[in-house]
């Protein structure tokens, strides 16, 4: 192998090393933020009240109903059909609000990952960081 070929290989390796160092720095920053994001997601509660203040619904970060509180006079002021419709509306609103809040909380991490090349694009056979992000997002939805 000629010297110029060795120099080209060294230069290519140096560029690859710089790219990987950048990815590693971004990944380390993301992982440091992830613990805080997971804590915030675990504590997240979103409340919604029915249109006629018959009930209050609480959902967690994944949109699961964690609490329903009925007004003392809910059965006097409504019919079962009306109460069910209002509860469904409140649950739907709370789930949408929780999804928006979750997306906003995950936005900094999403921006970091989307802004860098995926590791498997640089190194054949390496794990995909985007796949890792998707797995973490799926796990968070189950919080």
What pLDDT does residue 96 have? 95
Assess whether 54 and 76 both reside in one domain: yes
Give yes or no: residues 60 and 94 share one domain. yes
Q: Are residues 117 and 67 in the same domain?
A: yes
Residues 67 and 114 occupy one common structural domain: yes
Q: Are 98 and 65 in contact (CB under 8 A)?
A: no
Distance CA(59)–CA(18), nearest Å, equals: 44
pLDDT attached to residue 69: 95
35 lies in the same domain as 48:
no
What's the structural domain count of the chain?
A: 2
Cβ contact 81:93 at 8 Å:
no
For residue 43, the model assigns a pLDDT of 94
Say what the pLDDT of residue 119 is: 74
Domain of 35 in residue numbering reads as: 1-42
One domain for residues 25 and 51: no
Q: Are residues 67 and 21 in the same domain?
A: no
Weakly modelled stretches of the chain, pLDDT under 70: 113, 133, 139-143
- DSSP for 21-67, written as a single string: HHHHHHHHHHHHHHHHHHHHHHH-EEEEE-TTSSEEEEEETT--EEE
CATH of the domain at 114: 3.30.1310.10
Q: List 57's β-bridge partners, or say none.
A: 48, 68
**117 and 69 co-located in one domain:** yes
Q: Which residues contact 91 (CB under 8 A, 6 or more apart)?
A: 48, 57, 59, 65
| Three-point CA angle 36, 40, 43, nearest 5° | 140
């Amino acid at each position: 192998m000629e010297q110029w070929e060795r120099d080209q290989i060294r230069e290519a390796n140096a560029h690859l090393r710089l790219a990987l160092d950048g990815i590693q720095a971004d990944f380390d920053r993301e992982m440091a933020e992830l613990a805080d994001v997971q804590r915030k997601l675990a504590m997240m509660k979103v409340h919604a009240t029915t249109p006629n203040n018959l009930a209050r619904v609480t959902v967690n970060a994944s949109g699961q109903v964690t609490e329903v509180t009925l007004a003392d006079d809910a059965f006097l002021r409504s019919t079962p059909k009306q109460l069910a419709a209002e509860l469904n509306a409140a649950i739907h609103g709370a789930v949408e609000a929780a999804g928006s809040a979750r997306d906003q909380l995950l936005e900094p991490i999403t921006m970091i990952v989307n802004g860098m090349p995926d590791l498997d694009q640089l190194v054949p056979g390496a794990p995909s960081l985007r796949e890792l992000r998707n797995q973490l997002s799926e796990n968070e939805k189950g919080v």
